[in-house]
Each structure stands twice: as structure tokens, then as C-alpha cells.
Structure 1
Amino acid sequence: MASADLKDELTCSICLNLYSDPVTLKCGHNFCRECIESVLDTQKGSEAYSCPECRAEFLERPVLQRNTTLCKAPFTRPGPNIAEHFLSQEEHEDVFCTYCIHTPVVASKTCLMCEASLCDLHLTVHSKSPEHVLIQPTKSFRNRRCSHHNKVFTYYCTEDAECLCVSCCLGEKHRGHQVDLLNEACKQKKEKLQIVHGRLIKEREETKKKVQCLQNHLKHIPEKGASIVERVCVKLKDLKMKQDNLEKHVLNEISKQQEQVSLSVSNLIQQLEIKEDSLSRKLSSIEELCRIIDPVLYLQADRDDFANNMGVNDNLKEIKADDLVEDLIISTLNSGMVDIMSGLQKGYYVQEASGVLLDVNTASNDVHISDDLKTASSSNIKHCPKTDTKRFEESTILAIKGFSTGRVFWDIEGSKAGAWRVGMAYPSISRNGKQACIGNNNKSWGLRSFNKQYSIRHDEKEIKLLFQPICYKVRIYLDYAAGQLSFYELGNSMRHLYTYDATFTEALYPVIVVWDNGWVRVLN
């Protein structure tokens, strides 16, 4: 009884179903939003609006206030509103056969036309006509009937995505629309949903792989960072040591020059002091001659002494003191700094690989090579028969020169259309069959551009990258000793695409694969 009373309290007096989006008028009565709006629409143009329950009048169309109490989930938890909660509780209860009045028997089906539930026995004698739609047992017929015509939903409008009764199909609103039987529409939607479900599963698996790849990459970042820090610290320590040695060398050079110049200037001072004494003696002798008054005595003075006193020495004009040669010191400093930087470049900075040329003797006969040996293009013309064992069977060419030491990079530009792959490979890679394809073995590493998507491949494992090509210019960077092969896109700024970690056992040769009218040009 209490359940029935609660159901009455939660039932809209217009549609006689449980509230759907309940709203409240100023008089306090509750209705489904759609129901009361339909009633108010019919009252438009009249002198006043009125409540269908108590006939209270309003001069203006009343504002519909959402009933937060009825919309609130029970026990203040997120979920369905009170009416929906009551409905779900009601539907989870056992449903008994309507016609078994003496002994309750659990129903197996409910007929929407009859609004009756049937056990297996009564179901055998029930009408099998299409109008009698059978569903899983339920006590609630809410949303099972049309609120306008009070008829069972039997059709579905695919254009408006609405369930329809027979009368709705004949109405103006759905005239000319694609209308299917409910069961058929449900079947079609489930089939489409299964397709979407399968696609989402596949996309989820691909996403998981990408996440796993990024997580693995994330795990290696601290290790790589520590390795770089160690190398940088070693270089900085070496740089500091070389700077200290250069400082000592330059300071020693300055001290050496200072000592030499000081000795030279001291010798000059000594020579000048001797000359100064000689000049003083001559001055004294002249002064004594000048003090003789008697002309005879003056003229009879020692002529040699007189001649010596009258002589002029021009050595003063040739005396020039040495100075510190600052230009030589600066030259020594600059030369030492150049040597330090040159050593750093040889030991740490990456060198651009010079002279990356394509080896025509390895090119498959469906690849055209430019005269400068820098461009490989996919071609339908067979250029040369496959007689050389070094020649690839399909779409591939190696460079002439390989790398087995140091850090180098080489740049390429690929076609926007068509397909291509670039990377590095051992010269011992197979030239025929599936194993000749770059990335299908453990002897080659490649980056592919196809259908506006990047992917990397090695040892038959391919990973699609999150980045879409922007400029189709790529840098391939090799650190042979560290076992790293990296790919970067050269846009307005260099963007890292992927890095392989491996232990290289042979020299690595640049390799290019082109197909579907694709082409690749070496930019070095």
C-alpha cells in the first residue's frame, strides 16, 4: 500500500506516468516539463494561464521551476532522480502473471498492447499478432506508450531518433521520414554499435600500445639523462683542465716576455749611465779649458783632448727600449682556445655526414637514381636487370658509405604524396624476400611516411607515431658508440620523432625505400 501511495505521489497527473524532468508551478503542483509545456501552449491566446490540477490562474505564462527535490538522487548520492529510482526498484522486483490469480506465477514476458504480464502457460495462448509487442517482464509501462495518442510504441523514426506509435507515423511531423519496426531498428542499431565497439576495442589496443611505448620511453629518460650528464661533466672537467693549462701557458708567456724586456731595458739603462759618466767628464774638461785666460796657454792645450771633447756621439738616436708584445700574447691565447674548441667538436659535437651518395649497384630495378646520386624515385620502368647479388629485389637502395664510429647525422626531404621509408641498415641485410624489407629484420631500422602518418619499424615490430608530417624533412642522427639511432623532423623547429636503442655490431649504411610514386632526396 505504501508503494502504491508513493507511486501516486510520483505520477504526473497529465500523462499518468512517473515524472520525467519534473517542474513546479507557483501553486506548488508538479508535472513533467514536456506535459505542462504542451498544456500551456494550448492556453496561449486566452485571457489567462491555469494549472491543470487546481485551476489556479496566472496572468502571464508561468515560469517553470525545476523541482530539485524530485530530481535529487535518494540518499543525496549521484544517480537517478527519486521517480527513476522508484521505477528501477519496482522493475527489479519479481513480476507475476496477470492471469494466475489463485497462485502467483512468475511471468516470462509482458505484452505492451495488453499491459499484462504472462507466464509460460498463458503465453502459449496469447495473440501472436505484431501489435502485441512482447518484452521482458516489467511492472512499469512508462515511456512504452505515446504520451499524445496513448498507444504502444511499435515504430522508430531514424531521422528524428524517436519511438512512434501507429498514429505518430500518420502525423505531419514524421511524414516522408524513414520509419522502421522497433525490433528491426533495434537490430540495426545494435549491429552498428557492434561495429563501433570493435573499432573502439582496436583503437583502445593501439592506444595502449602507444601508452606502453611512451612509458618505456619515459623509463629510459632518466638513464639517458644520467648518461648525458656524465658525458657533459667529463667534457666540462676536461674543458676546465684545458683552460687552466692555457691560463698557465699564457701567464708563463707573459712572465717570460716581462723578464726578457726587463733585462733588455736594464742593459740599456746601464749603457746610458756609462755614456752619461763619459759626457760628464768631457763637460768638466771643457769647463777647465774655458777657465784659461791666457790665449797662449789656451791654444797650447792638449789638442787630442780638445778634439775628443769636441766630438759628437749620435748613438742616443739609435737607442729604443723593447716592450711586451701584446699581439703575440693574444695570438697565443686565441690559438689555445681554438685548439680547445676543436677538441670539443671532435669529442662531443655531432658532425654532419658528408658525401652521402646512393649506390646504384644496390638499387632495385624499380628505383630511379638521379645523376648526382642524391635522389631516389619510385618508377614503373625497369631500369636494369637484377644480376648483381648486391642489388635489392624491390624498392630499396643503400648508400655508398657506411658509419661505424662517432656521431653523425644526415638530412633528407621526402615527397608529400606516395610512400617512402628512410633509416640505417647493415650491409649484410638480405636482398630478397620479406627479410629484405627495411624494418622486417634485426639488421635495419626505419621511419616510414605513408598516408600522412609516421611510423617506425624494426625486427617486424611497427609503431605508429602520434605526430603527423609537417614539412617532410627528416634528420637521421647516429651515435654509434652509445647505440642510438634517432629521427627528427626539421620544421620551423626540430621535433624529435623516435630514438632506437641498440648494440650495433656492423657498420650502418643509410638506406632509402620508395614506392607508390614516392621520392627521397639527400640534402647533405
Structure 2
Amino acid sequence: MAQQGVLLDQDQFCCSVCLDLLKEPVTIHCGNSYCRSCIEGCWDQDVLKGVYSCPQCRETFTPRPTLRKNNMLAELVEKLKKTGLQAAPPPALCYAGPGDVACDFCTGTRKQKALMSCLVCLASYCETHLQPHYECPAFKKHKLVKATAQLQEKICSHHDKLLEVYCRTDQQCICMLCTMDEHKGHETVSAAAERTEKQRQLGMSMQKVQQRFQEREKELKELQQAVESLKCSAQAAVEDSDKIFTELISSIERRRSEVKELIRAQEKAQVSQA
């Protein structure tokens, strides 16, 4: 039973970045713990921004926090190792291949395939690193979309805000701040509303094309029937003419034979009189 209890609690000894048992564990200000090398690797990527965040809850810190080893957690991990029990194996990893979007928070040379992209964080997440977006209240209002490599294309280059408005005047997607300056006074709708309208128009266009196709198909069928009818009429005319000429030829042959017999009969009569 004690062994089962350890298995139930061992998730707290796993690093959410590398998904393995904590190595030289450190606990940051928000209370989450990581391998020292994992959290340092994440923060090294944020040096230019000057703002450092927790990979799980996304709480930000400025300046970069000093990392200190969590001795108590390190001892517990060592005891866990000595019992011969390892952390429960993670679910089968699905690594990103050519053409796939890789998780922005996986470390190492091989990253897992991202499932979703966050339009607020401007990052893509695998199944494991996506969990905070579902579990933490701070992420509840973040907009998740199917993983895409073109995240920057959904962000306004002027204001770094989500392109969620469509300007019908200029026929382009803009952000909310754009409606207050260079697109002020323009006819605008939400991007979702414009998408729905475009889909409706496309549906109507496809319906018209389908209708025209059916009309042309009907006309072609009628033309084929007319051609077939003409062929039948022509064939009937040929057969009728053949019948008429055959009867005419037979009649002429009979008349010819009759004339020949008449001539011979007259010839015999004249010879006998002579």
C-alpha cells in the first residue's frame, strides 16, 4: 500500500519541461519546481526581453530570479530513486516531424508535436505543456487555435495585438487599436463575422455554379437526345428509300421480262405467217 501511495504522488517529482524526474530541483517564486538546467534553458531564451516567466503558470519575474536548490525536494527525489521506483512513464511521445509545428516549451533537440497555439502567448504547446491553459484561471481567456506555424501572421505588426477585426473599406484584417487610428471611421466588422459572410457568399457562388452546371448538363442531354432522334430519322429514311428502290427495280425487271416475252411472241407470229 505504501508503494502505491508513492506512485500516486510521484508526479510532483517530475519536471514539466523535460517530463523526467527532477535533477537538481529548484523552486521559483510562484511555487513551481523544475530541473535547474531546464528552467535556466527556458530563461536563457528570454534574456533579450528582460522578462522571465514560469513555463507552467506564466507568472512573470523581473529581474531574473536567483535560483537556489530545493534541498528537501532533492532529498525526496533521491529517496524515490533508492526505492527503485521511477516516475510513471509519460504517455507515448509524439515528436514533431517535417511539416509539423513543434512545441515552443519542450527542451532538447527533439521537441514534441504541438497540438494548439495560443494567440495571446504567441506560442505553440504540446499536450503536456498545454495543460496550464486548461487548469490555471490566468489562462482561461486566452484564445487557443489549432497549432500553426504562422502565428505572427495573426498579429498586427503595428500594435502587436490579435487581428480580430476586418476593415471592409481597405479589405484587410486589423486589430482593435487600428480602428482608433489609421482605420478610424472605416466600415469594420469582427473577423469572425466577415469569415461567416465570406463563407455565405462562397456557398451562394458554389450553389449558382452548381445550378449552371446542372442546366448545361440538361441542355447537353437534350442535344444528345435530339442527335439520337435525328440519327433514327435518317436511318428510317434510308431504309424507306431502300425499300422503295428495291420495289421499283423489281417492277422494272418484271416489266422488262414482259416486254421481252411480247417481242418474242410477235416474232414467232410473223415467222409463222411468212
TM-score when scaled to structure 2?
0.42
State the structure with bigger RCO (CA 8 A, min sep 6), 1 or 2.
2
TM-score when scaled to structure 1?
0.24
Q: Which has more radius of gyration? A: 1
Tell me which protein shows more helix as a share of its residues: 2
